[in-house]
Amino acid sequence: MKHNSLIALLLLAAACAPAPQSKVVTLDREVLMDKIMGGWAGQTIGVVYGAPTEFKYCGTLIPDQQPVSWGEGYVKHWWDRKPGLFDDIYNDLTFAEAFEQMGLDVSTDSLAIRFAYAPYHLAHANQAGRYNIRQGIMPPASGSWLNNPHADDLDFQIEADFIGLMAPGMVPQALEIAQRVGHIMNSGDGFYGGAFVAGLYSAAFVESDPARILDMALEGIPEESTFWQCVNDVRLLHKRYPADWKQSWFELLKKWGNDMGCPKGVYLSFDIDAKLNSAYVAMGLLYGGGDFGKSLEIATRCGQDSDCNPATVGGVLGVVLGLEGIPDFWKNPVMDIWEADFEGTDVSLAKGSEYSFRHALELIEKNGGAVRENSVDIPVSRPQVLPLEQNFIDTWPLYRDQKDDWMEKEYSFDFSGNGFVIWGNLVCLRGITPDYAARVSKKHVGSEVFALAEEDDDYVAEVEVWIDGELDQVAFLPMRGTSRKLEPAWKYGLPEGRHTVKMVWRNPDPSTYLLRINAIQYYSATCNTDPYYHN
């Protein structure tokens, strides 16, 4: 009893102990603005630099003999050719504009509505979160893995840059904002990816050593999480192989190169998981040693999401260097589009920089810092560790059943396990020749047929999903691209055992719409590592 009382007193004393004192970092206002502009510019440089290789090198390095291009007019070339490439930037700018218009205390629900009804194309966790919100499923449920098979994807990771730019040197404040934003589309490791990136940018205002920036960004991530463990392995591997980033890459892939959730990646080489791609960001920072071009190249040559990862690296180093400090070779091409508004927004890099600067000044003052005519005093303190959250608990990939089937009215399958997710999409045959449409309906064609999503097509397929003889859900599948549901149906957390699934299309129109069943991924409560086992 005395022992328990002593423990209680010690815990009470710890709880009442004052938080670690902040230190104060003073920056000239011009320097602060220059660093913010450098962050926006560096992110844009990185996303364009890696554009030609995005997800073309999955599970493999980009070889040294493969050149990665850059030069005069290169950013404008991609701006004109593929505006959707800049999704990292325009998602960031959407949130920055929301904070500008609704204030620093804007609620998660308000941010979610603004995000969900933005007019541009989204994919993966972003689109799944958007769909959920449009169906009335609000955060954090919209980003939960139970409602979003892409919850561990890197979507929040690639659009959290704006948070660090508005919270210079204030990692605790960056993480608070991250909690309001990140659960719109992600949870678990997917959420931690964005919190990590927000921390990187924030730390880069007050530290210049990439290793120290990385340490500060990881302080708020729970060590029990697989995200922290994966990125921490980069720190350990860097110490073991300080001059050989490729050896570290191989070791990292062996341990962490297995996507658990994304239906496009499980059991395949495609890996959009946040922790692995954040680890590639860490590799670029550590092995690049602060050199802008070298750091971008390493993050790019790691493969997978090879535009988003160097975008983060470029943005973080852009903060360290400031816009003026980014070498002209890299900086000049991005200045060609500095004043231009991004697709689906009324915001440019110039305007976004102004937003971030105003938000930073307000946040500094709000948190006890000082804003003077020519300088600011930034309160810098260590963050509290975020709550632990992990996705796909007791839900292990069991078997990927490649189907390549078409559903016209009904579709059935059975399996052993505790969950499933269907990778497929609604297909519109409008505009296809009658002969070709007939062949499609008879299932004589393969993967060359894709959804012809038309933004004025308001058709919504209604599909009942019956599990073990009981109606489990009705899946609403809009044809409109910005409203689409990425996966027709899924279910996790079933009792382990044999299950039957029957899908019934309530409002079919086989002459115009079909449902493609690409593959079905089955899950089990037990992790089976035998490569020859499946049911």
268 burial via Cβ count (<10 Å: 0-12, 13-18, 19+): middle
State the alpha helices, DSSP H only, in 50-155: 74-81, 87-102, 108-116, 124-134
Residue 531 predicted with pLDDT over 50? no
In this prediction, residue 511 carries a pLDDT of 87
Region 232-258: what's the mean pLDDT?
Answer: 97
Q: What single-letter DSSP state applies at residue 322?
A: -
pLDDT band for position 94 (cuts 50, 70, 90) = very high
Query: Rounded distance, CA 458 to CA 445, Å?
Result: 26
394 burial via Cβ count (<10 Å: 0-12, 13-18, 19+): middle
pLDDT tens-digit readout, 167-179: 999 999 999 999 9
In this prediction, residue 246 carries a pLDDT of 98
- Output the CA–CA distances (angstroms, integers) from residue 11 to 6, 17, 436, in the order listed: 9, 10, 72
Spatial contact of 157 and 86, defined as CB atoms under 8 Å apart: no
In this prediction, residue 529 carries a pLDDT of 58
Q: What single-letter DSSP state applies at residue 153?
A: B
Which CATH superfamily, name and number, covers 396-524? Galactose-binding domain-like (2.60.120.260)
In this prediction, residue 435 carries a pLDDT of 55
Q: What single-letter DSSP state applies at residue 142?
A: G
Determine which of 257-261, 421-425, 447-451 has the lowest per-residue pLDDT on average: 447-451
Determine which of 30-44, 69-83, 136-150, 167-181 has the lowest per-residue pLDDT on average: 69-83
Of the candidates 270, 205, 257, 268, the residue with the CA atom closest to the CA atom of residue 39: 205
Q: Give pTM, 2 decimals.
A: 0.92
pLDDT band for position 448 (cuts 50, 70, 90) = very low
Percent of the chain whose pLDDT exceeds 70: 90
Query: Which segments of 278-354 are extended strands (E)?
Result: none
pLDDT tens-digit readout, 206-215: 999 999 999 9
pLDDT band for position 438 (cuts 50, 70, 90) = low
Q: Kindly report the number of other CB atoms within 10 A of residue 135's CB atom.
A: 15
Per-domain residue ranges of the chain: 29-380, 396-524
Spatial contact of 238 and 251, defined as CB atoms under 8 Å apart: no
Spatial contact of 302 and 280, defined as CB atoms under 8 Å apart: yes
Residue 187 predicted with pLDDT over 80? yes
State the alpha helices, DSSP H only, in 417-500: 434-441
Region 462-479: what's the mean pLDDT?
Answer: 97
The better pLDDT of the pair 373, 7 is held by 373
Region 128-148: what's the mean pLDDT?
Answer: 98
Residue 447 predicted with pLDDT over 60? no
In this prediction, residue 455 carries a pLDDT of 56
Which CATH superfamily, name and number, covers 29-380? ADP-ribosylation/Crystallin J1 (1.10.4080.10)
Q: For Cα atoms 171, 173, 176, give the angle at the middle one, nearest 5 degrees.
A: 110
Region 8-15: what's the mean pLDDT?
Answer: 36
In this prediction, residue 530 carries a pLDDT of 54
Region 374-387: what's the mean pLDDT?
Answer: 97
- Average pLDDT of the chain? 91
Query: Rounded distance, CA 214 to CA 282, Å?
Result: 7
pLDDT tens-digit readout, 219-229: 999 999 999 99
DSSP secondary structure of 472-531 = EEEEEEESSGGG--SSS-EE--PPSEEEEEEEEESS--TTTEEEEEEEEEEEESS----T
In this prediction, residue 424 carries a pLDDT of 94
pLDDT tens-digit readout, 326-376: 999 999 999 999 999 998 889 999 999 999 999 999 999 999 999 999 999
Is the peptide bond preceding residue 383 cis, with omega within 30 degrees of 0?
no
pLDDT tens-digit readout, 97-107: 999 999 999 99
pLDDT band for position 432 (cuts 50, 70, 90) = low
Q: What single-letter DSSP state applies at residue 418?
A: S
